[in-house]
Amino acid sequence: MTSYPQNTAAIIDPVKLDRLAEVAIKVGLRLQPGQDLLLTAPVVALPLVRRIARHAYEAGAGLVTPILSDEEITLSRFRLAGDVSFDRAPAWLYEGMAKAFSANTARLAVVGDNPMLLSGEDPAKVSRANKANSVAYQPALEKIAGFDINWNIVAYPGASWARQVFPDDEESVAVAKLADAIFSASRVDGEDPISAWAAHNAALHRRTEWLNGERFQALHFTGPGTDLTVGLADGHQWQGGASTANNGIVCNPNIPTEEVFTTPHALRVDGYVASTKPLSYQGTLIDQIAVRFEAGRIVEARAARGEEVLNKVLDTDEGARRLGEVALVPHSSPISKSGILFFNTLFDENASCHVALGQCYSKCFVGGDKLQPGEITAQGGNKSLIHIDWMIGSNAIDIDGIRADGSRVPVFRQGEWA
């Protein structure tokens, strides 16, 4: 059984936790007066959820609706439910969420559960449940992927997660360490986190301005196990840090974030690439991924660990074998410097350059808010039920930008901006 220490709240600095809640509302969402908020979180994160709700109402929120999950209830399903359960998902809930987003409700997700929770469960059941959930979630996901509303993800240091990250420490020590790491990465360990985020967003914006000015047709990644050319979508646009959602609200979808990212061309990715960090996906650790692309599609895929799950992911649909995102993160990012493997993509992707299998973001096109789905596809955007980031950067990776005339511009050298 999963157990939580009774004094978890006392272990976590309440001042920094409150700053994180404030940043989630004022930086992550920039919640507007009268705007409703839909909030999902594990039950263990209630101390943060309560603070988020308070800051939301102080900012003028109309209605805050929390939806909580629990590790033990999740495990009960996989261990006790009948076989039919694993091909089902609460479509009614996701349809309701999509309806809420259509009415301009903001979305905030708190992560904090054990990322390896399902590692000991039947991988076939996990795969079936994930696919059913992906299909049912599609109406809501389209609103998020299309950046129709302001949304945000933040993290809470749950005890079971902390034990995975720091397995050699006592539980209270592990929770304290994970809390400090989350607060540092989220820039709430200083006296004025709002100003710190303003400066960080400005730095990321300067990177996107340069990349958008270059209008590269492709990026060429080289390094150990990697020789990959990623063609960029026609009319692509680089994003990073704070961005304007289609409802006109400037928000930071991910806290933390160190990346600048855009949309690859779904048909113009060629070569091979190796992962540089493990991918924790739905309770399974997938490590030492090595894939080969031809004309945008993965035609060979291997992994030293979790290969069966990787192949099931790739078979989700046609778009699952193609890229929906490419992101640049320097090896010297604060999360990389921490040396911590979080087993959580929200953090681990910000330690390394990465790519994402599956669905693209329409906001990564010039005028993307006005493009129809068919136009996004015609410009090279990928469509899929999934969007899964995995890390391909290190201090041994070089990246060149390739212009329309074939000339090359150094973008990264040994993992750093050139």
131 and 246 belong to one structural domain = no
299 and 163 belong to one structural domain = no
74 and 144 belong to one structural domain = yes
148 and 272 belong to one structural domain = no
Residue 282 belongs to a domain = yes
pLDDT (0 to 100) of residue 7: 57
Range of the domain at 178: 8-185
* Angle at CA of residue 237, ends 235 and 239, nearest 5°: 165
- 383: confidence class by pLDDT, cuts 50, 70, 90: very high
Q: What is the secondary structure of 73-97 as a DSSP string?
A: HHHHHHHHS-GGGGG---HHHHHHH
First to last CA, the chain: 49
Q: What is the mean pLDDT of residues 107-131?
A: 91
Lowest mean pLDDT among 8-22, 24-38, 395-409: 8-22
Token pair for residue 404? Answer: 């329309």
Among 170, 185, 200, residue at a domain's last position:
185
Residue 248's CB is within 10 A of a number of other CB atoms, namely 10
169 and 229 belong to one structural domain = no
Residue 202's CB is within 10 A of a number of other CB atoms, namely 11
Residue 295 belongs to a domain = yes
Task: List the helix and strand counts (H, then E) for the chain.
Answer: 13, 21
Among 185, 206, 231, residue at a domain's last position:
185
181 and 322 belong to one structural domain = no
* CATH number of the domain enclosing 86: 3.40.1830.10
Residue 196 belongs to a domain = no
Among 144, 166, 185, residue at a domain's last position:
185
pLDDT (0 to 100) of residue 145: 83
Residue 167 belongs to a domain = yes
141 and 20 belong to one structural domain = yes
Percent of the chain scoring above 90 in pLDDT: 86
Residue 228 belongs to a domain = yes
Residue 206 belongs to a domain = no
279 and 370 belong to one structural domain = yes
296 and 153 belong to one structural domain = no
pLDDT (0 to 100) of residue 4: 45
* Angle at CA of residue 384, ends 412 and 393, nearest 5°: 20
Work out the burial of residue 4: count CB atoms within 10 Å of its CB; fewer than 13 is exposed, 13-18 middle, 19 or more buried.
middle
Per-residue pLDDT reduced to its tens digit, 266-315: 999 999 999 999 998 877 889 999 999 999 999 999 999 989 889 989 99
Q: Is the pLDDT of residue 2 over 50?
A: no
pLDDT (0 to 100) of residue 221: 98
Q: Is the pLDDT of residue 363 over 90?
A: no
169 and 220 belong to one structural domain = no
Q: What does the alpha-carbon distance between residue 304 and residue 277 come to, in Å, rounded to a whole number?
A: 12
Residue 193 belongs to a domain = no
Residue 198 belongs to a domain = no
pLDDT (0 to 100) of residue 5: 42
166 and 308 belong to one structural domain = no
Specify the number of domains making up the chain.
2
Q: What is the mean pLDDT of residues 334-358?
A: 93
pLDDT (0 to 100) of residue 368: 86
335 and 264 belong to one structural domain = yes
Q: What is the mean pLDDT of residues 161-175?
A: 96
pTM value? 0.89
- 185: confidence class by pLDDT, cuts 50, 70, 90: very high
pLDDT (0 to 100) of residue 298: 98
* Helical (H) or strand (E) element with 415: none
Token pair for residue 177? Answer: 């360490």
Please tell me which residue, 416 or 309, carries the higher pLDDT value: 416
